[in-house]
A = this chain, B = another copy of it.
Amino acid sequence: MTQLFLEDIREGQVFGAPRYEVTSENIKDFAGQWDPQAFHLDEAAADGSFFAGLAASGWHTAAITMRLLVLGEFTPVNGIVGAGVEELKWHRPVRPGDVLTVRSEVLEVRPMRSKPGFGIVRMRTTTLDAAGEPVQVFTAPLVVRARAG
């Protein structure tokens, strides 16, 4: 695993990640802990709901995305550290049987005035289904340590 410093990261770089298979069991397990609503917990209740069938919590999709990001190709030396999310969109609900992966693209690299020796990498992270269609997209400013600093 290459430990990336700020100077190693360029606008336009793209980083891949492994895949994750979503099951009805892991949808219900996450929801039971963090988003206990009927349409994430029970097939019969979900059929008559807004989602018309069992759907993963959007926060589950976000958590899967973070796991894939951490296990993926983008490996900053200080870890993946974000101060927030500029915008996050769920394009469609994730369903049992979906196999997800993540693609991250560097939008901008700049030094951080408030924290010398670090910089901000603005990254757009897209979570894709098996057909390559986006299920979630977000942009986040990440804090990355500089080699010179």
Contact = CB atoms under 8 A, between A and B. Distances in A.
A82 B82 CA distance: 22
A51 B83 CA distance: 12
A87 B90 contact: no
Interface string A120-132: 0000000000000
Interface stretch (A9-17, A57-65, A104-112): A57-65
B67 A35 contact: yes
Interface in A61-86: 62-64, 66-67, 70-71, 78-86
A79 B36 contact: no
A34 B34 CA distance: 13
Contacts of A64: 34
A54 interface: no
A14 to B, nearest CB: 21
Contact of A63 (B51, B63, B78, B138): B63
Instruction: State the 10 A-B residue pairs at the shortest beta-carbon distance, nearest first.
Output: A84-B89, A34-B63, A85-B88, A37-B79, A35-B66, A59-B66, A34-B67, A50-B78, A84-B88, A50-B81
Given A34-B64, A37-B79, A50-B81, 15 more contacts: A34-B63, A34-B66, A35-B66, A36-B67, A37-B70, A50-B78, A50-B143, A58-B82, A59-B59, A63-B63, A82-B90, A84-B88, A85-B85, A85-B138, A86-B87
